Structure 1
Amino acid sequence: MFSWFERRLNPYPETAPKQPPKGLFAFCWHYTRPAWPWLLVLGLCSMLIALGEVLLYQFLGNIVDWLSHADPQTFLSSEGLRLMLMSGLVLIALPIIGAIHSLTMHQVLAGNFPMIARWQMHRFLLRHSMSFFANEFAGRVATKVMQTSLSIREAVIKIIDVFVYASSFFVSMLVLVIAVDWRLVLPLVAWIVIYIVILSLFIPRLRKLSSEQADARSLMTGRITDSYTNIGTVKLFSHAGREEAYAQAGMNGFLDTVHRQMRQITLLNIWVDINNALALFAVGACGIGFWLSGSVSVGSVAVAIGLAMRINGMSQWIMWEVAALFEAIGTVYDGMSMMTRSHEVVDAEDAKPLVATRGAIRFDDIRFHYGKAGKGLIEGLALDIAAGEKIGLVGRSGAGKTTLMNLLLRFYDLEGGRITVDGQDIAKVTQDSLRQAIGVVTQDTALLHRSIRDNIAYGRPEASDAEIIDAAKRANAWDFIEGLTDLQGRNGLDAHVGERGVKLSGGQRQRVAIARVFLKDAPILILDEATSALDSEVEAAIQENLFALMQGKTVIAIAHRLSTLTEMDRLIVLDHGRIVETGTHDALVRQAGLYADLWSRQSGGFLTEDDGTAEAAQ
């Protein structure tokens, strides 16, 4: 039975993720739409339960009146039918409705509903540009996904379940008391009006504080996560104390919002208690007064006082639910600021998959400034790279080499000009197909916190173990992979590498990354300091395999160590985002230009300082 209900709602909708709207209702509805039929069932059950409880109070009044006047000899014969109906309500109807309510709440919605939001948010965020993630803490992004998805569930379910129940109960309660004696309803109406006024005064404050608290919680979590993510740097510089202070500042900010929120909740609690006490006293006093005058029965007084005691308890529950609701709404508002941001780099509406059979690349009068007006990085650059050509990019730090590669990968959109691969404008093809056609090995290799197999197979997920092992051998990685064992006792390809590959040395991570690109076997290859983390012996062993990998591919290589680029077909020298020289290594040395100057100032194959200024190429 449980499994049947758990399968009623698909937690992973297949529809492509879309940018959510910015209004609170529209934002929540964006993630609620798949669950609305079951939310309707939940609301209907809540309403029926509320009506059933009010009927029980009416039955209580009837019982009191019956027992006050009825003859025990004829009681069952005269009231038997109504007793049976109420028995059916108590023993059959309410338990069945309660069971359906519980199954809907806990089996259908509790897990699946927030997972729908979490799944759609995660898929949408994954498609953001590199600049989005460069400007956000990874921990902050993850926290907002988790918090916002849960808060949408809490807000929607509380509105549908709690407030449908409460409104149904209060309306039917007022109708019942009016039927008994309209004068008894006056204290209850006064209580409701005062209660609404109290909530209207405190709710906006709690909503504002909840939003501040959600943001402070995300900041606190992001700071803590940042310390753990960069634990190597923290240890290297012995800055545990500084990290404690950094995290404590975030914790203090969060704690301040908690204290301010709790002050408001305490004041709200005090005022609600006073209102409840006055309402209970007024209903009891009026009921007894009306009974003394003979205008109402004992049962009517019992119903009125019983309902007053019930709403006394309900008001506390509603107060906490309202506080929780607006805490959830505050968290949703906070999450909306991130979740509703537009993607900076998107596929064109008619984008088609890139068909890259040769790998010819053309930069056609491109312009890019990272959005900084007047601060040109690449301005009017034109470059043709023939299919199968192997070029090296050379230049000082900041010359634009890595930016050029990021533009080719379409991590950013051009501000002018275009880039084509085999004659196809990369702005008009799908991003996934573009990047599938390009293999990249960077200097700073971060591996996924998964097994060695998963990390290498990331280049081609359908690859067999034999193909993965072959790629590892070609990257000179198999020898150390065979001897790996993680803390859970997993060996070889099954061993996990830790977050960002922290359990491996820099050279080992680089060789795994190179194996991944061997396996991918893309027609275009980018080597951005691909062997910089390797020692000379391992680099020499891999260099031959890299040249084998380059065969038949278009290669763009960036290296600080210029000696590694001397075998390229052509070198492109960049300076301030412009091509200033082009040619083979020997030809450029003879020109006695910028490249010759960089080459002459190398010591041990690296660019060195000149007149106190580091001139290392990026």
Structure 2
Amino acid sequence: MFSWFENRVNPYPREEPTTPPKGLLPFLWHYSKPAAPWLVLMSLVAGTIAFAEVYLFQFLGDIVNWLSTADRETFLADEGWHLALMGGLVLVGLPLLTTFGSLLIHQVLLGNLPMIGRWQMHRYVLRHSMTFFANEFAGRVSQKVMQTSLAVRETVMKTLDMFVYVATYFASMIFIVAAADWRLVIPLIVWLVVYGALLWYFIPRLRKISADQADARSLMTGRVVDSYTNIGTVKLFSHAGREEQFSKEGMDGFLHTVYRQMRRVTEFQILVYLNNAIALFSVGALAIHFWLLDSISVGTIALTLGLVMRIGGMSQWIMWEVTALFENIGTVYDGMAMMARKHDLVDAEDAKALTVTRGEIVYDDISFHYGKKDGIIEHLSLTIKPGEKVGLVGRSGAGKTTMMNLLLRFFDLESGRILIDGQDVSKVTQDSLRENIGVVTQDTSLLHRSIRDNIAYSRPEATDEEVISAAKRANAWEFIQGLSDMQGRTGLEAHVGERGVKLSGGQRQRIAIARVFLKDAPILVLDEATSALDSEVEAAIQESLFGLMEGKTVIAIAHRLSTLTEMDRLVVLDKGEIVEVGTHSELASGEGIYADLWRRQSGGFLADDHTAAGEAAE
């Protein structure tokens, strides 16, 4: 039975994620519509239960009246069918309704509804640009996804379940009390007006505080996660105390919002309780007064006072539920600011898959500034022939890595275009573009998964034999065989830790190289690909790297110039412009920037001015 209800809603919709709307109701509908029929059914059940519970109070009043005047000998004969009807409602009707409502809430909705939001939000966030992630804490983004999806569920379900229940209950209560004696409705209406005014005053203020609190919570979490993510740097500089202070500032900001919230809640609770006390006293006094005048029955007093005491308790429950509701609404508003942000980089409407037949790359009069006034790259043009191996050389900030990022379309050009086999990279799908380019970067971070998963990430359908072959070609198989983790997994099954922290820099780099071997893309980009390797290991895989380059168009970036000597052509950049082009021999024998850099090398690396000055002195 449980599994049948659990499978009524698909928590992983297949539709491609789209930008959610920014209004509260459209935003809630965007993530709730797959479960809409079940949400409506939940509301209907809640309303029916509310009406049945109020009707029980009327029956209580009827029983008091019957017992006050009935003849014991004929009571069952006269009222037996009423008693049987109410007995059926109490023993069968309400338990069945409550069971069905509980199955709807706990099996159909509580698990599936937030997962729908979580799934869609996560898929949408994954498609944001590199700029988006560069400007946000990873912990903050994940916190927003998790808490916003839960807040959507709570907002929708509390609104449809609680408000339908409460509205039905109050409407039925007013009707039944008015049917007994309309004069007793007056203090109840006054109570409702005052209670509504309290809600109207406090709720917007609690919502504002809740939005501030949700943002402060995500900032606090982001700061804590940032410390854990970079724990190596924290330890290296002995800055645990500094990180404590950094986190404490975030915690203080969050705690301040909690204090503000609890002050308002205390004020709200005191006023609600006072309003309830006045209502109970007023209705009780009026009821006794009218009974003394012989204008109402004892049953009416029992009915009215029972309902007033019940709504007094309900008002406390409603207060907490409404407070929680608007906390969640505040969280939704806070999450909406991030989740409804449009993607910076999107595929063109008519984008087609990139087809690489030759591998020619053309940078056609491109300019790019990273949003700054001064140009990083200004009107640069470069053609890389099919199968040509080109090395990009230049000091830090010359624009080498920027050219790689633009080729991969991590950023959009401000002018010009980049063509691969005559196809503008901005007019093809991003997935197909990156599928055709293999990249090894200087800063290699691995996924906290197995060695197999990390190598096969470039081609998930690869067999173990293909994964092992790629590892051997990257000179990684030997150390992989000796790996083990805390769970006892070894070799390809061993997990590497967050960002690959369990491996050395050289080991992570070799895993990354193995991943690109397995991908076997027609275009290859090496951005400091061997920077984390010692000379012995670099020499061991150099031949394999040249094998990997065979038949591919290659762009290689390196500070270790010895790794570029075998390139077909070297392109020297300075301040975003091409200043020299030629082979290693041609440029090294000249008097330009490359020759100067080559002479300044120490052990194959670019030396800074201080090192160069020291060498000259020697």
Fold equivalence (TM over 0.5): yes
CA distance in 2, matches of 1:403, 1:551: 25
Q: Which residue of 1 aligns with 2:107?
A: 107
Instruction: Give 2:161's aligned amino acid.
Output: D
Instruction: Give 1:55's aligned amino acid.
Output: Y
CA contact (8 A) 2:475 2:540 kept: yes
1:1-47 Cα deviation digits (max 9, x unpaired):
00000000000000000000111111111101111100001100100
CA contact (8 A) 2:390 2:569 kept: yes
CA distance in 2, matches of 1:149, 1:528: 38
Range 586-595 or range 360-369, more displaced = 586-595
Give the drift of 1:610.
Answer: 2.2
CA contact (8 A) 2:43 2:161 kept: yes
CA distance in 2, matches of 1:348, 1:12: 26
CA distance in 2, matches of 1:265, 1:334: 21
Give the drift of 1:612.
Answer: 8.7
Range 590-599 or range 449-458, more displaced = 590-599
CA distance in 1, matches of 2:182, 2:140: 56
Give the drift of 1:465.
Answer: 0.3
Give the drift of 1:81.
Answer: 1.7
Say which SS state the counterpart of residue 349 (structure 2) adopts: coil
Q: Which residue of 1 aligns with 2:506?
A: 507
Unpaired runs of 5+ in structure 2? 614-618
CA distance in 1, matches of 2:79, 2:197: 43
Give the drift of 1:609.
Answer: 2.0
CA contact (8 A) 2:600 2:612 kept: no
Q: Which residue of 2 aligns with 1:98?
A: 98
Instruction: After TM superposition, list the pairs within 5 Å mapping 1:593-604 onto structure 2.
Output: 593-604=592-603
Q: Which residue of 1 aligns with 2:516?
A: 517
CA contact (8 A) 2:444 2:508 kept: yes
Range 432-441 or range 587-596, more displaced = 587-596
CA distance in 2, matches of 1:466, 1:592: 50
Instruction: Give 2:583's aligned amino acid.
Output: T
Deviating 4+ runs (over 4 angstroms): 611-614
Instruction: After TM superposition, list the pairs within 5 Å mapping 1:265-304 onto structure 2.
Output: 265-304=265-304
CA distance in 2, matches of 1:103, 1:457: 42
Q: Which residue of 2 aligns with 1:443?
A: 442
| Alignment partner of 1:411 is 2:419 | no
Instruction: Give 1:315's aligned amino acid.
Output: S
CA distance in 2, matches of 1:491, 1:214: 42
Instruction: After TM superposition, list the pairs within 5 Å mapping 1:430-469 onto structure 2.
Output: 430-469=429-468
Instruction: Give 1:590's aligned amino acid.
Output: S
Say which SS state the counterpart of residue 242 (structure 1) adopts: helix
| Alignment partner of 1:333 is 2:350 | no
CA contact (8 A) 2:211 2:327 kept: yes
Distance 1:245 1:613, change over 3 A: farther
Give the drift of 1:188.
Answer: 0.7
Q: Which residue of 1 aligns with 2:365?
A: 365
Give the drift of 1:529.
Answer: 0.6
Instruction: After TM superposition, list the pairs within 5 Å mapping 1:345-494 onto structure 2.
Output: 345-372=345-372, 374-494=373-493
Q: Which residue of 1 aligns with 2:212?
A: 212
Instruction: Give 2:254's aligned amino acid.
Output: F
CA distance in 2, matches of 1:375, 1:286: 81
Q: Which residue of 2 aligns with 1:245?
A: 245
CA distance in 2, matches of 1:243, 1:444: 24
Instruction: Give 1:251's aligned amino acid.
Output: M
CA distance in 2, matches of 1:517, 1:489: 28
Distance 1:184 1:600, change over 3 A: same
Q: Which residue of 2 aligns with 1:306?
A: 306
Say which SS state the counterpart of residue 359 (structure 2) adopts: coil
1:239-266 Cα deviation digits (max 9, x unpaired):
0000001001110110010011001000
Give the drift of 1:367.
Answer: 1.1
Say which SS state the counterpart of residue 591 (structure 1) adopts: coil
Give the drift of 1:358.
Answer: 2.0
Give the drift of 1:429.
Answer: 0.7
CA contact (8 A) 2:409 2:430 kept: yes
Q: Which residue of 1 aligns with 2:616?
A: none
Q: Which residue of 1 aligns with 2:85?
A: 85
Instruction: After TM superposition, list the pairs within 5 Å mapping 1:583-602 onto structure 2.
Output: 583-602=582-601
1:148-183 Cα deviation digits (max 9, x unpaired):
000000011010000100000000100000000000
CA distance in 1, matches of 2:268, 2:612: 64
CA distance in 2, matches of 1:357, 1:431: 18
Q: How many residues align?
A: 613
Say which SS state the counterpart of residue 469 (structure 1) adopts: helix
CA distance in 2, matches of 1:294, 1:308: 21
Instruction: Give 2:131's aligned amino acid.
Output: S
Give the drift of 1:591.
Answer: 2.9
Instruction: Give 1:389's aligned amino acid.
Output: E
Give the drift of 1:302.
Answer: 0.3
CA distance in 2, matches of 1:575, 1:21: 45
Say which SS state the counterpart of residue 458 (structure 2) adopts: coil
Say which SS state the counterpart of residue 33 (structure 1) adopts: helix
Say which SS state the counterpart of residue 461 (structure 1) adopts: coil
Say which SS state the counterpart of residue 458 (structure 1) adopts: helix
| Alignment partner of 1:57 is 2:80 | no
Give the drift of 1:222.
Answer: 0.2
CA distance in 2, matches of 1:551, 1:394: 21
1:397-429 Cα deviation digits (max 9, x unpaired):
101000110000000111111111111111111
Instruction: Give 2:412's aligned amino acid.
Output: D
Instruction: Give 1:442's aligned amino acid.
Output: T
Say which SS state the counterpart of residue 367 (structure 1) adopts: strand
Q: Give % identity.
A: 70
Aligned-residue CA RMSD (Å): 1.0
Q: Which residue of 1 aligns with 2:549?
A: 550
Give the drift of 1:85.
Answer: 1.5
Q: Which residue of 2 aligns with 1:222?
A: 222
Give the drift of 1:605.
Answer: 1.5
Q: Which residue of 2 aligns with 1:529?
A: 528
Unpaired runs of 5+ in structure 1? none
Q: Report the TM-score when normalising by structure 2.
A: 0.98
CA distance in 2, matches of 1:612, 1:569: 30
Give the drift of 1:88.
Answer: 1.7
Instruction: Give 1:214's aligned amino acid.
Output: A
| Alignment partner of 1:610 is 2:609 | yes
CA distance in 1, matches of 2:340, 2:371: 21
Instruction: Give 1:576's aligned amino acid.
Output: K
Instruction: After TM superposition, list the pairs within 5 Å mapping 1:25-64 onto structure 2.
Output: 25-64=25-64
Instruction: Give 1:167's aligned amino acid.
Output: A
Give the drift of 1:80.
Answer: 1.7
Instruction: Give 1:99's aligned amino acid.
Output: T
Q: Report the TM-score when normalising by structure 1.
A: 0.98
Give the drift of 1:597.
Answer: 1.4
Give the drift of 1:600.
Answer: 1.5
| Alignment partner of 1:174 is 2:139 | no
CA distance in 1, matches of 2:473, 2:380: 36
Give the drift of 1:613.
Answer: 10
CA distance in 1, matches of 2:276, 2:560: 79
CA distance in 2, matches of 1:113, 1:348: 32
